[in-house]
Structure 1
Amino acid sequence: MSARIYQRPKNAMQSGKALLDQWVLEFVPAEAKKADPLMGWSGSGDTQQQVVLRFPTSEDAKAYAERYGIEAEVHSTPPRRLKIQAYADNFR
């Protein structure tokens, strides 16, 4: 069983910073999804894909993975770069 640990990204429709400090542990899919022949929906028999665990810090997520023998890969969050621009700059 392997998993990835990452910090929640900001949604494109989100202006605030709520829930951005959470760290998520998601399991890597064990098998590929396949289309259902009757309905055409995609799915698989892997139930670990449905499990998403949230932690307050990355250290807590790493400790959980080590405690239960889960091989976890931590993806660090890239630094945020703000482009500060005034409204008047649109008319230069």
Structure 2
Amino acid sequence: MEARIYRPAKSAMQSGRGNTKEWTLELVNPDAHRRPDPLMGWTSIDDTSGQIRLQFDTREQAIAYAEREGLNFRVEEPRERKRLVKSYAENFSADRKQPWTH
């Protein structure tokens, strides 16, 4: 069994950074077979362990858990986002790079 350890990014529907502080350990099984259900057309899978997601406060706790359970794991480091800090008054400044139009 393989595990993926990562810190989730904020969703596009969030304005804040909620649910992005904790590290997540997710089980990944590349040998699981997906197939469409003939009646409903929904995709089903023969291995439900991919639905398991464990939350940890730190990356080290998640790594320690994976090592204790004998899981092969990979750690995906989070990318820090760049913040473009601007004020509303900059929309109307005289030295704009693009002219302000309606």
Task: Tell me the TM-score normalized by structure 2.
Answer: 0.82
Amino acid at match of 2:72: E
How many residues align? The count is 92
Following TM superposition, by how much is the alpha carbon of 1:18 offset from its aligned partner in structure 2, in angstroms?
2.2
**Corresponding residue for 1:48?**
49
Secondary structure of the structure 1 residue equivalent to 2:46: coil
| Max Rg structure | 2
Distance 1:88 1:34 in 2: 55
**Corresponding residue for 2:37?**
36
Following TM superposition, by how much is the alpha carbon of 1:78 offset from its aligned partner in structure 2, in angstroms?
0.8
Aligned pair 1:10/2:25, yes or no? Answer: no
Following TM superposition, by how much is the alpha carbon of 1:89 offset from its aligned partner in structure 2, in angstroms?
2.9
Task: Tell me the TM-score normalized by structure 1.
Answer: 0.90
Distance 2:69 2:41 in 1: 36
Following TM superposition, by how much is the alpha carbon of 1:8 offset from its aligned partner in structure 2, in angstroms?
1.7
Superposition CA RMSD, Å: 1.3
**Corresponding residue for 1:19?**
19
Amino acid at match of 1:76: E
**Corresponding residue for 2:86?**
85
- After alignment, is 75-84 or 11-20 more displaced? 11-20
- After alignment, is 34-43 or 15-24 more displaced? 15-24
Structure number with greater CO (CA < 8 Å, separation at least 6) is: 1
**Structure 1: 4+ residue segments shifted above 4 A:** none
Structure 1: unaligned runs, 5 residues or longer: none
